[in-house]
Amino acid sequence: MDLLPLDKRKITQKAVDVQEFKSIIENEAHLQSQCEEWLTLEKISYLHIPNAAYNLLVKHRYSNLAKKLKGIPDLLIFKKLENGRNECLCIELKTSKGKQSQGQKNVAKHINVVIKRSFEDVQKEVREFFMNETTIKCSKCGSTNIIHPINEPDVIYRCSHCGHERRIGNPNDQWHVYKYNRDTEIEF
């Protein structure tokens, strides 16, 4: 069997396509979209103010309001506390080479903002925010990818890997609720 000569145009075109793909994947908007899809899937309450809203306010001469929105973190993730208050995790998304704008730096002087550069880092930060530094394992698959969906009050824990849930008031459930301490490992 004869080897066909290489067509340099096809090889070059493939290299360009890979470069374009990398630029899309390493785009902050793609990271934002990926995080929002995951948060929605996990039923975690969050707020994102799109840049288009800021631009619309500037266009229609609502500059005072637009100035207040300038620098707001990309994701504001909310957790309801037992004492009736709320806690908020503020995440600023950046690419590997991305830098904070002056408006973002000004906001970060007044509130705690974490900068995350990958989807996996965001997932880890959100899990730590909801798990309070406690390791919880799924009894069915052994995964530690456990979430507490705050919009579903009857679900205490859900395994992101297999979907196994711990629900409030399940008479067949032999699991007990504990006060969690640091470095505790719990199986449900």
- CATH 3.40.1350.10 residue ranges of the chain are 27-131
Helix locations, the chain, DSSP H = 8-25, 28-41, 51-59, 63-69, 102-108, 119-131
**Edge-to-edge order in the sheet of strand 155-159:** 146-147, 155-159, 165-167
The number of residues making up the chain comes to 188
Query: β-pairing, 75-80 with 185-187?
Result: unpaired
pLDDT tier for residue 149 given thresholds of 50, 70 and 90: confident
Nearest to 74 by CA among 42, 102, 33: 33
Is 27-131 a CATH 1.10.340.30 domain? no
Checking if the pLDDT of 166 tops 70, the result is: yes
Residues 186 and 134: their CA atoms lie apart, in Å, by: 8
pLDDT value of position 137: 74
Instruction: Give the tens place of pLDDT for each residue, 65-104.
Output: 888 788 999 999 998 877 888 899 999 999 988 999 999 9
State the average pLDDT over residues 120-144: 79
Residue 88 pairs with which residues in a beta bridge?
A: 78
Q: Give the burial class of 9: count Cβ atoms within 10 A of its Cβ; 0-12 exposed, 13-18 middle, 19 or more buried.
A: exposed
- Higher-pLDDT residue of 149, 86: 86
pLDDT value of position 134: 53
